[in-house]
A and B are shown apart, each in its own frame.
Chain A
Amino acid sequence: MNDMTRVERAVDSKDIKINAKQVQVYYGDTHAIKDVDVEIEDKTVTAFIGPSGCGKSTFLRCLNRMNDTIDICRVQGDILLDGEDIYDKRVDPVQLRAKVGMVFQKPNPFPKSIYDNVAYGPRIHGLAKNKAELDEIVEKSLRRGAIWDEVKDRLDAPGTGLSGGQQQRLCIARAVATEPEVLLMDEPCSALDPIATAQVEELIDELRSRYSVVIVTHSMQQAARVSQKTAFFHLGNLVEFGETGQIFTNPEDPRTESYITGRIG
């Protein structure tokens, strides 16, 4: 690597949070992700769109090494978080996941109280010195998850007793509680009704002021509504990546155009 690129990276790293270069992912013999290059900016919502099975979720799970829990999955290439390779041997994937939080497709609150759900991450990572600090973290996170007003009177109630949309916002609050720098969301609204979806989308827009958010979605309207940058995946390739407005109004690649106009997918 020559000096020139190193200098460039130092300049870029001010606003580029995650820089993925030539990423390849294999499931056993299947080549699931091919030569993906993406730069994810800080304090921006980046949307990954594409037909089912195109690899967008797989790529998302590479960003916090969730794929490590799958035995047959192999990742090649460089994924740099703040200029550091997250697949480096010295990086502890457990620490990484505290920094790169994740919200899943189906709301998955633990079978514990609402309070304990949110306090789970801070307790594991020792973020609070005492009960008062923990209370503060829980309240702050629930406020950021835009669910505080709905649950403040019943923090001891089980998290599984909330409605679907509330559960998903609880999961977002839970992810936020560990003070992540990046928030990955894997189709966070696919199990929700339109009203809950609108609430979560509004929340995502608010989260942008603090975090870099990456969202995988099947809904192109949703991508257009919430994101500033959009990446279009097709058959394991990154076809096009750019400003959301650009992708949806004037795509360069004919495949992107076919997908957003509904001809493939």
Chain B
Amino acid sequence: MPIVWLFLIVIAISAVGYVLGRSRALHSAGGDSRNLHSLPTFYGANVALKALIPAFGLLIAWLLLQPLYVNSQVSGMIPDTAIKEGSSRSLVMAEVRRTADGLNNAVSQGLLTEIEAANPNADNAEVTRILKEAGQVVTSDITQPVLLAAQKHRVMNTTGYSIMSVVIILAALAGTGISWWQTHAEYRARNVVEQGVRALLLAAASIAVLTTIGIVLSLVFNTWEFFKLYPASDFFFGTTWAPSFSGRGGASDLGIIPLLWGTFYISLVALLVAVPIGLFAAIYLSEYASPRVRSIAKPLLEVLAGIPTIVYGLFALLTVGPLLLDVFGDGGLGWMKAGTAVMTAGLVMGIMLIPFVSSLSDDIINAVPQAMRDGSYGLGATQSETIRQVVLPAALPGIVGAILLAASRAIGETMIVVLGAGAAARLSLNPFEAMTTVTAKIVSQLTGDADFASPEALVAFALGMTLFILTLGLNIFALYIVRKYREQYE
């Protein structure tokens, strides 16, 4: 039975449970809802929730665990001799899964009957041909152990899913039945539903947190793998970045310093552009602009934040780069060799960051109490004196927080760098030279054709981990400052 159907059936059961629970509660109160502990809808919701939650919980757990169980069972069927030189058990298992999927497709398209699909003595070449016809990608001819394993895989999965359907429908029915039986006028359905709502919100919050932990763990394990293959001191203190894709290990220089320098330099240029412009724009919008201008200008400025970074990258590559080359290139001052440079990427990234700085700073400046401004005006200060000496100092911690958030955004930016700054890892002070950043190199290391177990590919995780720790530190620092500021006016 397809999962969608199962899903709909469980929902239908809980809908029926809702109606039943509601009417039973009303009936037990003699038809007068004033005699009930809770509103009738709470009794309905109580039954519906108790049907839904155990059934769906079980469904998710089953869907996660069944493939693990089937794999471990089927994996034992493949003899070590069936694993070719240079291959691995996990690759063969992938082949088994593809074959099992192919058999399923072939059966559903009518190319094979159930009996043929389960036939252990079927001709391997014939099966391969039929699977290809059914649209399944099969890399090579299917061997006898793979076919047997695939058939077993298929059978186990099919029976597993059938049992699952029955168990889940039973669970939904049991939940409905028990909670229906519990329902009477004194039952505190409202409190139970309240608990349910609380659990739902808690689940949403924990998914976000758990995902973060999962991401960190995946980074940590792969980083660990990398440091087993490549010395950590060379990685952190090496001043050359020269991965080799032909020689495996050893021949590559994977020093992070040129990349960190590029990241830092480009972010610095970006912040030098974004912070003054963003801050001045925020001051204008919050202190000088009339409500009409503000209501038009602020959303327009925030449109900048909605432009995808790849579009900024194109802007850097096609407009800003050539423009800078005209002025600073060989035709002009002669400092610049090509359109891709730190300056190009930094300028465009700065433009991208303007709305971050301006929008956050604007909110923070607005949060400075009007009493501060009145106090300053009342002493005969002008508007700019008031802003410079009272409003900005009061808002400074918040503005610093906004700038740090923009900085962590700049450090993590990739597309603009790929298109605007070039791909050469270089340690140089000249902002008109091409450089590259950590993020851009992560992309190029993982999109190459390097073996996934080689240090050239695994270095991406070490780079990602370093970047993650850097931006995490910046974010924590920014949040700390913002929070400290918030306490000031409460």
The chain A residues found within 8 Å of chain B, CB to CB, are 64, 66, 69, 71, 94-99, 101-104, 106, 108-112, 120-121, 124-125, 160, 171, 174-175, 178
- Is B64 engaged at the interface, CB distance under 8 Å to the other chain? no
Give the residues in chain B near A125, CB-CB below 8 Å.
380
Our pick among B371, B373, B374, B380 for the contact of A95 (Cβ within 8 Å) is B380
A111-B394 contact in complex given A71-B290, A124-B385, A160-B488, C-beta closer than 8 Å: yes
Q: Are B290 and A66 in contact (CB under 8 A)?
A: no
- Is B318 engaged at the interface, CB distance under 8 Å to the other chain? no
Q: Are B378 and A120 in contact (CB under 8 A)?
A: no
Q: Nearest Cβ in chain B — how far from A190, in angstroms?
A: 13
Q: Are A97 and B290 in contact (CB under 8 A)?
A: no
Give the residues in chain B near A106, CB-CB below 8 Å.
371
- Is B250 engaged at the interface, CB distance under 8 Å to the other chain? no
Interface of chain A: mostly helix, strand, loop or mixed: helix
User: Would you list which residues of chain B between 152 and 194 have a CB under 8 Å from chain A?
Assistant: none
Q: Are B381 and A124 in contact (CB under 8 A)?
A: yes
- Beyond the given A97-B379, A99-B380, A171-B375, could you list 19 further A-B residue pairs with CB under 8 A, ordered by the A residue number? A66-B378, A97-B378, A98-B379, A102-B374, A102-B378, A104-B375, A104-B378, A108-B371, A108-B374, A110-B393, A110-B394, A111-B488, A120-B376, A120-B389, A121-B380, A125-B380, A174-B375, A175-B378, A178-B380
User: Total A-B residue pairs with C-beta atoms closer than 8 Å?
Assistant: 70
Give the residues in chain B near A175, CB-CB below 8 Å.
378-379
Our pick among B376, B378, B389 for the contact of A64 (Cβ within 8 Å) is B378
Q: Are A108 and B394 in contact (CB under 8 A)?
A: no
Q: Nearest Cβ in chain B — how far from A196, in angstroms?
A: 18
- Closest residue on chain A to residue B368 by CB atoms: A111
Q: Nearest Cβ in chain A — how far from B375, in angstroms?
A: 4
Q: Nearest Cβ in chain B — how far from A96, in angstroms?
A: 8
18 sample A-B contacts, Cβ–Cβ < 8 Å, listed by A number: A66-B377, A69-B373, A94-B380, A97-B379, A101-B379, A103-B378, A108-B375, A110-B375, A110-B390, A110-B393, A110-B394, A111-B372, A111-B488, A124-B381, A125-B380, A175-B378, A175-B379, A178-B380
Interface string of B101-122 (1 = CB under 8 A from A): 0000000000000000000000
CA distance A178 to B372 in the complex (A): 17
Give the residues in chain B near A160, CB-CB below 8 Å.
488
Q: Are B378 and A94 in contact (CB under 8 A)?
A: no
Give the residues in chain A near B378, CB-CB below 8 Å.
64, 66, 97, 101-104, 175
CA distance A109 to B372 in the complex (A): 7
- Closest residue on chain A to residue B369 by CB atoms: A108
- Is B206 engaged at the interface, CB distance under 8 Å to the other chain? no
Give the residues in chain A near B379, CB-CB below 8 Å.
97-98, 101, 120-121, 124, 174-175, 178
- Is B382 engaged at the interface, CB distance under 8 Å to the other chain? yes
- Closest residue on chain B to residue A117 by CB atoms: B375
Q: Which of A66, A103, A110 has the most CB of B within 10 A?
A: A110
Give the residues in chain B near A110, CB-CB below 8 Å.
372, 375-376, 389-390, 393-394
A112-B393 contact in complex given A120-B379, A160-B488, A175-B379, C-beta closer than 8 Å: yes
Q: Nearest Cβ in chain B — how far from A186, in angstroms?
A: 9
CA distance A80 to B378 in the complex (A): 19
Instruction: Please name the 7 residue pairs, one residue from A and one from B, whose CB atoms are nearest each other, closest first.
Output: A98-B380, A102-B378, A108-B371, A97-B380, A121-B379, A108-B375, A111-B394
Give the residues in chain A near B381, CB-CB below 8 Å.
94, 120-121, 124
Q: Nearest Cβ in chain B — how far from A172, in angstroms?
A: 12
Give the residues in chain B near A64, CB-CB below 8 Å.
378
Give the residues in chain A near B394, CB-CB below 8 Å.
110-111
Give the residues in chain A near B290, CB-CB below 8 Å.
71
CA distance A5 to B366 in the complex (A): 48
- Closest residue on chain B to residue A69 by CB atoms: B377
User: Would you list which residues of chain B between 382 and 438 have a CB under 8 Å from chain A?
Assistant: 382, 385, 389-390, 393-394
CA distance A186 to B169 in the complex (A): 72
Q: Nearest Cβ in chain B — how far from A138, in angstroms?
A: 14
Give the residues in chain A near B385, CB-CB below 8 Å.
124
Q: Nearest Cβ in chain A — how far from B46, in angstroms?
A: 49
Give the residues in chain A near B373, CB-CB below 8 Å.
69
Q: Nearest Cβ in chain A — how far from B384, in angstroms?
A: 11
CA distance A94 to B390 in the complex (A): 16
Q: Nearest Cβ in chain A — how far from B172, in angstroms?
A: 60
Q: Which of A96, A108, A112, A125 has the most CB of B within 10 A?
A: A108
- Closest residue on chain A to residue B396 by CB atoms: A111
Give the residues in chain A near B488, CB-CB below 8 Å.
111, 160
CA distance A96 to B371 in the complex (A): 19
Q: Which of B374, B380, B382 has the most CB of A within 10 A?
A: B380
Q: Nearest Cβ in chain A — how far from B434, in angstroms?
A: 46
